[in-house]
Structure formats: structure tokens, C-alpha cells
Structure 1
């Protein structure tokens, strides 16, 4: 009578193995790539060559380390369900954009590390839900501008690093809500000290000098002068910084406005800029090659599971008939 018992055990083992594979276990103890510590609730997925965030990160994770990988994009729901996170490390990846709302469920987050990526801009309101954030690293990216009010909700912030980017200005009032700020890195940016927009930053640095560390290191483009030394006479121009990479000079706009339709020349517009003008955006997240391979392997695993189940059932039926 051991035949049916063995078959039943085989069914249980196969079911358990398939469920584990289907869940895409994260931790090494479950066959995943990350190291999990049940006591500290720390999940370490750093330096794994990842191009996508592993699935099934434990929902009670407190500290998630994803640094030193090859992440180039994040799905909007990347961290949904991880509302107990207090530390999120994404440094040294290849992130070019952040989807709006990607951090919206991380209400307890205190440290966010985005340094050493390739971010050119930030979505409006990207940090609005992170009201407990105390440390935000954004240095060594390619940020060209900051959205209006991007830091307004970060009233608990103590450390902010913006050094080594491509910032020429900050919006009026950009740092006014950061009453608890003690460290702000602004150096190694091409601050445009010829425009009136720089006066907010210059005045703010003079006001906070001595209470916020490192702000005096901000220098005008070319390193000719410190931003805090700029006067109203020096910053005399009314400069306009467009949101897109290509702007039409005002002289052309004036000429076109005063011309007949028949006289308007056809201006070649690069396709990518035309798409930006129309508000076109790339999808938030496209499947990466490893994700596709994981999907294929999942289907193959499912097929193999059903084949083995069928074989086990046939074996039981055959044994019962003999009995």
C-alpha cells in the first residue's frame, strides 16, 4: 500500500516547489538573489547586476538596499506594499527617470539614496508623500532643473545633496520649507549668475550661512565667483529656462507672428522634441530581458508542473486498478 502514499507525497512536493517558483522568492534561503535578515528586517540586493527589482520583497522590510546594480527604470508600483520601509538605497544605478507616484506609499521613509544615477529631471510632487524624510541624496546625477515646490513637504529634512549636477538655478522659495536642514551640498553645478533668478539662492545662502553646512561652496558657472557674493547689478538679466531641451528664440516668434501664413518658413523640428512638445512620454516601465526570461521560465515551470501532476495521477489510478 506504499504506492498511493508515495504518489501523494510526490504531489505535495511538486505543488510546494511550483508555488515557491511562481512566487519568485527573493531571499537566498528561498532560492532568490537577495540576502534577508529576519531580525533587522534588512533586505540586501546590492551588487547583483539586477536590471529589475526582485519580486516578493517581504512586506515588513525596514531597510532595502538596491545599490550598485543596473536598474535603468522603475515601474510605478515598484515599492507598493512596502509601507514599512525607512531606508531605501538606489545609489549607483542607471536610473534616467522616476515615474510619478513611485514613492507615494513610503510614508515612513527616512533615508532615500538616489545618488550616482542619470536622472535629468524630477516629476512634479515626487517627494510629497515622504513627510518623514530626513536624508535625501541626489548628488552626481544630470539634473538640469527642479520642479516648483519639489521639497515643500519635506519639513523634517536635515541633509540634502544636489552637488555634481547640471543645475543653473532653483525655483523661487525652493528651500523655504526646510527649517530643519543642517547640510546642503550645492557645489559642482553651473549656476547662472547673470540671471535674476539666482538672487533667491544667493540671498538664501547669505541668510543661512553658519547654520546650514557647505552652502558657501556654490560657485557661479566657470568658478569665477561664489553665488553668495552675487549682487543685483551683476544678476541683471531676465533669463527664461524652458522645460524642454529646445526653445524657439523670441526673435523668430515675433517674426512669425507678424508674417502671413504663406510667408512662414517650414522649420525642421526633431521628432523627439516634437513629441515632448505634444506631451508624449515613454511608458513608465518596459519589461527587461531578465523579466521576459522569468516569465518564459514561469510558463515552462507551470507546464512541467501539470505534466508531473498528470503522471502522478495516472500512476495512482494504475496502482488502484491493480489492487
Structure 2
């Protein structure tokens, strides 16, 4: 009877090894492009020359780093199933646009980094579901304007970085809902003025960067900014660095008689037809066409080639070594089962 007992023990050991191998293969460090850390729930895919986001990211991932790749576009469903994310880093890519709804499932996200891409505009409502966001990095893009109300739902935002873009104007009330904002950077843009009352609701603001903009100090519109800087001087840092176009004078030094002209500036805010806004607001996610995504780097990440089918569930697939180990475990398990059956028959 020792034969069947030993065989049964062997079967249990091999089954346990098979389960362990299957689970361990979810985040292999040796065969995939991305590095997965089960303890911290983080996935690091930085600087891997990816042209598409891997479809096999674990659903419980908390921190996802995709910086330093070659992402030029995102599918609308890029982050579907990743609703545990609190940190998403897309810095240093080649993103030219963001599809509407791409962040809609990231309700727990606190940090979103999009710096140094090629974004020229933002879709209306792109951040509306990110109500827990505290840090938004949009600097060093090519933004020329902002949609009305683009930040209205970000009522917990602490930091907003918009420097090094091409902003020519700001929508009226664009910062009114950001009552928790502490740091705001608008430096290195093309701003000539800000709307009346632009910063009136930012009661917790501690730092505001306004330098390196062509502030037009000949127009009466500059008086709001000039008076606001004088009032907040000493309580909000960096604001004194704002200078009139040409660097001839600081904005805070402008007197009312100097800004005598009633200037009219063209409205550079991108106008969205009402019918389009209504359609977008009423459409289901499934009605929005999905952008094509290049897939040439998927085989490298997955560890094997499967050209006609890519997994739809966002979980890490096994590398070649993990797959071979799993097959070996299956073979040994099958052999153990046959041995047990044979031993029982003899007994």
C-alpha cells in the first residue's frame, strides 16, 4: 500500500507546484517587457519603446508607469478594468490627442502625469470622472487652449502644471472649482491677460508661476492681474516674477493710467458645436469609435506570438519560461495520476 500513498503525496505536491507556477507566471520578471511587483501592486513599463499599451496588466494594479515610450495614441478602452489605479504616468511619450472617456474608469486616480507629450487640445469632460485627483501634470505639451469647465470636477486637486505650452487665453472661470489648489504653473505660455476674477476662488494657493508670458500691460485687462499680485504678494510665491511683454516692467507695478486701452482679443478657446457636446454627453462608451492601436511590440511583451488574437482580459500573461514550466507540471501531474490509478488496480 506504500505505492499508492507515495503516489498520492506526489500528486498533491505537483498540483501545488502547478498552481504556484500558474499564479507566479502572472508577473514574470524574466520574459516580459514590464516589471511587475505583486507586493506594491505596481507595473513599470517605462522606456521600452512601446507603441501600444499592453493588454495584460493585472486588474489590481495600483501604480502604472508608461513613461518614455513611443505612444502616439490611446484606444478609448486603454485603461478599462484598471479601476484600482491611483497613479498613472504617461510622461515623455508622443501623444497627440486623448480619446473621450479614456480615463472614465479611473475613479480612484490621484496622480496623472502627461508631461512632455504633443497634446494640442483636450476633449471636453476628459477629466470629469477623476474626482479624487490631487496632482495633474500637463506641462511641456502644445496646448493652445482649454475647453470650458475642463477642470470643474477636480475639486480635490492640489497641483496643476500647465507651463511650457502654447496657451493664448484662459476660459472664464476655468479655475473657479479648484478650491483646494495649492500650486499652479502657467509660465512659458502665450498669455497676454487672464479673465477678470481668474484666481479669486483659489484661497489655498501657495505658489503661482506667471513668468515668461507676453503680458500686455497697455490694456485695461491687465489691471485685475496687477492688483491681484499686489494683494497676494508675500502670501503666494513667484507671482512677482510676471513681467510685461518685452521685460520693461513688472506687472505688479502697472498703474491704472498706464493701462488705458480697451483692448479686444480674439477668442482662441476652441469652440465646440452644441450638437457635438450633446451627442458626446448622451452617448454610451460603446458608441464612440475606438482608435486603431499599433501592435508590433505586443509579441515582445507577451513572450509568444499569437497574431490573430490578443487577450481581452487585462492580466499579465506568462512568459515562455513560465509557459514551459506549466506544461512540464501538467505532464508530471498526468503521469502521477496514471501511476496512482495503476497502483490502485494492482492493490
Q: State if a TM-score over 0.5 links the two structures.
A: yes
SS at match of 2:224: helix
SS at match of 1:210: coil
Going from structure 1 to structure 2, the CA distance change for 1:50 and 1:131 (only over 3 Å counts) comes to same
Q: Which has the higher contact order (CA 8 A, sep 6+)?
A: 2
CA contact (8 A) 2:79 2:103 kept: no
Using the TM superposition, name which of 44-53 and 78-87 deviates more. Answer: 44-53
User: Is 1:91 the counterpart of 2:108 in the alignment?
Assistant: no
Going from structure 1 to structure 2, the CA distance change for 1:122 and 1:277 (only over 3 Å counts) comes to closer
In structure 2, what is the Cα distance between the partners aligned to 1:33 and 1:135?
32
After TM superposition, list the pairs within 5 Å mapping 1:20-31 onto structure 2.
none
CA contact (8 A) 2:80 2:105 kept: no
Structure 2, unpaired ranges of 5+: 1-25, 42-61, 281-287, 298-304, 311-347
Residue-by-residue CA offset, 1:116-165 (whole Å, 9 max, x unaligned): 00000000000000000000000000000000000000000000000000
CA contact (8 A) 2:168 2:268 kept: no
Alignment match, 2:238 = 214
User: Is 1:290 the counterpart of 2:293 in the alignment?
Assistant: yes
CA contact (8 A) 1:36 1:44 kept: no
Going from structure 1 to structure 2, the CA distance change for 1:156 and 1:298 (only over 3 Å counts) comes to farther
After TM superposition, list the pairs within 5 Å mapping 1:132-171 onto structure 2.
132-171=156-195
CA contact (8 A) 1:85 1:109 kept: yes
Alignment match, 2:128 = 104
SS at match of 2:309: helix
SS at match of 1:184: strand
In structure 1, what is the Cα distance between the partners aligned to 2:221 and 2:178?
23
Alignment match, 2:87 = 63
Residue-by-residue CA offset, 1:272-312 (whole Å, 9 max, x unaligned): xxx9798999x999866635889xx998328xxxxxxxxxx
Q: How many residues align?
A: 247
Alignment match, 1:43 = 64
Going from structure 1 to structure 2, the CA distance change for 1:81 and 1:187 (only over 3 Å counts) comes to same
Alignment match, 1:16 = none
Superposition RMSD in Å: 3.3
Residue-by-residue CA offset, 1:98-130 (whole Å, 9 max, x unaligned): 000010000000000000000000000000000
SS at match of 2:240: helix
Alignment match, 1:301 = 309
What displacement does 1:242 show? Answer: 1.5
In structure 1, what is the Cα distance between the partners aligned to 2:160 and 2:166?
16
After TM superposition, list the pairs within 5 Å mapping 1:1-323 onto structure 2.
35-38=35-38, 39=40, 41-53=62-74, 54-56=78-80, 58-244=82-268, 290-291=293-294, 300-301=308-309
CA contact (8 A) 1:61 1:82 kept: yes
Going from structure 1 to structure 2, the CA distance change for 1:199 and 1:243 (only over 3 Å counts) comes to same
CA contact (8 A) 2:133 2:156 kept: yes
SS at match of 1:301: coil
In structure 1, what is the Cα distance between the partners aligned to 2:143 and 2:306?
33
What displacement does 1:55 show? Answer: 4.4
Residue-by-residue CA offset, 1:169-211 (whole Å, 9 max, x unaligned): 0000000000000000000000000000000000000000000
Using the TM superposition, name which of 236-245 and 141-150 deviates more. Answer: 236-245
TM-score, L = length of structure 2 = 0.64
SS at match of 1:204: helix
Going from structure 1 to structure 2, the CA distance change for 1:181 and 1:219 (only over 3 Å counts) comes to same
Using the TM superposition, name which of 36-45 and 63-72 deviates more. Answer: 36-45
